[in-house]
Amino acid sequence: MSASWGAVEGATYEVTVNGQKSTVSTTSITVAGMTPGSTVTISVVAVKDGKTSGAATTTVPIPAETSANDNATGNNGQNQNGNNNPENNNGQSGNGDPPSPDTAE
Residue 57 has pLDDT above 80, yes or no: yes
pLDDT tens, position by position, 2-42: 999 999 999 999 999 999 999 999 999 999 999 999 999 99
From the list 19, 27, 32, the residue with the least C-alpha distance to 62 is 32
Q: What percent of the chain has pLDDT over 70?
A: 63
At residue 50, φ and ψ (nearest 5 deg) are 80, 0
Question: Residue 65 — pLDDT band, cuts 50, 70, 90?
Answer: confident
Give the mean pLDDT of the chain.
Answer: 79
3-state helix, strand, coil in the chain (%, to 5): 5, 35, 65
